[in-house]
Structure 1
Amino acid sequence: MTKHLPAKELGLLLLLAALWGAAYSFIRIGVETIPPITLISARTFLAGSLLLVILRLRKLSLPMDGLTWRRFCIQACLNSAVPFTLIAWAEQHVNAGLAVILNALTPIFAFLITAIFTRHESVTLPKLLGVLLGIAGTCLIVGMSVLQDNSSQFLPQLAVMLASVCYAMGAIFGRNFKGLDPMMPAAGSLICGSMMLIPLSLVIDHPWTLNPSRQSMLALVALSVFSTALAFAIYFRLVDTLGSIATTAQAYLRVPIGVGIGIVFLHEQTSTTLLIGLVLVVAGVIAMTLPASIWRIRRAPPLKTGSPH
C-alpha cells in the first residue's frame, strides 16, 4: 500500500460512502408502496445473485459444505435479513436521515458486545470516549422525541438501533469466515437471507396483489444493484488496496452524505437537536475506529546533562 493514496482509490472511497448513504433514501422511497418484507426479500435476492455473478467472473465459487452454509444462515440473520427488514419497517415512520444516524451506532454496539461478552479486543480510553459520545448523541435524538410527546417515533427508532446491534453481532460473528474470500460470506448470506424472506413475503404480503409505484421499483433496483451488490464489490476492493483501517473512513462520510441526500432529494427537515446528535455520533465513531497510533503522544527525548562521552 502506497503512502499517498491514489486518486482513483479515494474516489472509490467517496463513491462507497455515497452508495451506502443513499441506501436509506432508496429504502424510504421503496417502502412507500412496497411492504418491508417484500422489499428486502427482493433486495437480498437481486444483490446476492449479482455477487454470485461477480464471483463467477473472478473464477470463484461458494463452498458447499454444510457447516459453512449454516454459518451463512446465521450471518444472514445478523447482517441482512433481520436488520434490513427492521430498517425498512422503521423508515415507514422515520426519515432516512434519522435512520442513517442511528445506524451509525454499529461500531459502538460492537465494542460493548466485545467488552462485555467476547472480550477479544482490548478496552482503550479512545473507545470508551467514543461510546460515551455515541450514547450521548443517541440519547439526545431519541430522548428529545419522547420529551416532545412524539412517542410514535420511539419504536421505529428502537428498530433501527436493534438493526445496529445485529450488524455489530454480524461483524463479530464474521470472524468465523477467515480463510474465505470476503465476498463469499456476503453473497452466501444474502442468498440465505432471500430464502428466509421470500416465503414470508408470499404468505404475509401476497406480492402478486401489490401495485408498486414506478419510483418504488426504481428505488428497489438502485438499492439492490448499487447500494448492495456494487457497494460490496467496491468495499472488498478497497479492503485489498487501501487496507481495512483506511476503508473505515467511509463510515465518517456515510452519515453526513446520507443525511444530505435525504434533505436534498426527499426534502426532509432537520432540527438543531438532530444535527448535534449527528455530530456526537460521528465523533464517537471516529474516536473508536481511528488507529491507536493516532492517539499516542510522542514523548520528547530526555534532556542530556554534562558533556557527551
Structure 2
Amino acid sequence: MSSPAVSTTPPLAREIALLAVLATLWGASYTFIKIGVETIPPVTFIAARTLIAGALLLAIIRMRGLALPREPDVWKRFFIQACINSVIPFTLVAWAEITVDAGLATILNSTTPIFTFLLTVLITRHEPVTARKVFGVTAGVVGISLIIGLEAFNGLGKELVSQLAIVTATISYACAAIFGRGFKGMDPMMPAAGSMICGAVMLIPLSLVVDHPWTIVPSTASIAALFGLAVFSTALAFVIFFRLVHTLGSVSTTSQAYLRVPIGVGIGVLFLGESLSSTAWLGLVCVIAGVAAMTLPSRKKPTAAPI
C-alpha cells in the first residue's frame, strides 16, 4: 500500500510574509539611492552596489558548500538577467534620482505589476488572466494615488526625461520578473549571485571610463547608503525575489510594488516626522486588497476520490 504523497508547496503565509519583506527592502532602496548619489556618481554607485552584493552572495554560496554553475548557457541567461534586472534599471533609477524625488520615483516604479500583467497578457501568457488580477492592478493603482496624494502627480511634467527613465526601468523590471521564471529548480542564490556578478563585470569598466572613481570623495552617509542598498536591498532582496517568482508567479511577485509605497510612507512618519494624509488609510485598504487579489490562489473545486 503506497503512502500518501507529501506536498512540497511552501506554506502560503510564509510566502506572503516574504513578499512583505521584499517590499520593505526595495521600498527602502529609493532612500538609499537618493542619499548615495548625492556624492557618488550613478554608474559608480550602481557598479559598487552590484559588486558588493555579488561578492556577498558568492561568499554565502561557498559557505554552504555549493558552487555556481559552469555551463555557458546558464551564464548567458545570468547575463541577460543582469541586463534587465540590474544594469539597466538600477542605473536609470540612480541617474533619475539626481533630479527626481524618491517619493515620485517610488510611484513611477510601483507600476511594475501593471507592465508585468500586460506583458503576460500580450506575449507570454504563462499565467491565467482573471478578473481578480485585473481588480488587483486597479486597486493597487488607486491605493497608491490615495496614499501619496493626488497632488504628488503634479510633478509628472517636470524632469520628463528622468521620469521616462524610471518608467523604462519599470518595464525592464517587468521583463526580468518573467524571464526569471527560467531559473525554476535552481537554488535562488545562484541566479541572484550570477546576475550580480555579470552586472559588476559590465558596470565596473564603464565606471572607470565615465566617472574616474579614484577622484570621488564620497560622504559617510553615501557610503552607508551604498552598503545598506547592496547588502539588504540587493543581495538579500534578490534571493527572496527569485524564490517568490517560482512560488507565487511573476505577476504576484511584482505586486509587492504596491506595498513599497505604504511602507515608505510609514518609514517617513516614524523616522522623518512626515505626516500621513487623510486619504492614506483608505489607500492602505486598497493596496492590501490589490495585493491579496493578485497573490491569494483561487479555490479549486474538490475532486472526487478514486474508488
Task: Report the TM-score when normalising by structure 2.
Answer: 0.78
- Matched ranges for 1:111-190 at <5 A: 111-134=117-140, 148=154, 151-190=157-196
3-state SS of 1:70 partner = helix
* Partner Cα distance (2:42, 2:206) in 1: 11
- Matched ranges for 1:1-309 at <5 A: 15-134=21-140, 148=154, 151-233=157-239, 244=248, 253-262=259-268, 264-265=270-271, 283-293=289-299
* Partner Cα distance (1:205, 1:272) in 2: 44
Shift of 1:278: 7.6
Larger radius of gyration between Structure 1 and Structure 2: 1
* Partner Cα distance (1:142, 1:256) in 2: 12
Tell me if structure 1 keeps the 8 A contact 2:54–2:197: yes
The total of aligned residue pairs comes to 289
Comparing 98-107 with 84-93, greater Cα deviation is found at 98-107
Once the two structures are aligned, what percentage of the paired residues are identical? 59
3-state SS of 2:158 partner = helix
Shift of 1:139: 8.4
Comparing 19-28 with 164-173, greater Cα deviation is found at 19-28
Tell me if structure 2 keeps the 8 A contact 1:106–1:164: yes
Shift of 1:24: 1.4
Shift of 1:2: 8.7
* Partner Cα distance (1:153, 1:79) in 2: 24
Task: Report the TM-score when normalising by structure 1.
Answer: 0.77
Structure 1 37/136 Cα, relative in aligned 2: closer, same or farther at 3 Å?
same
* Partner Cα distance (2:283, 2:28) in 1: 20
Comparing 162-171 with 96-105, greater Cα deviation is found at 96-105
Letter in 2 for 1:119: R
* Partner Cα distance (2:10, 2:215) in 1: 54
Letter in 1 for 2:44: T
Q: Which runs of 5+ in 1 are unaligned?
A: 299-309
Structure 1 96/201 Cα, relative in aligned 2: closer, same or farther at 3 Å?
same
Q: Which runs of 5+ in 2 are unaligned?
A: 1-8, 302-307
Tell me if structure 1 keeps the 8 A contact 2:84–2:173: yes
Shift of 1:274: 8.8
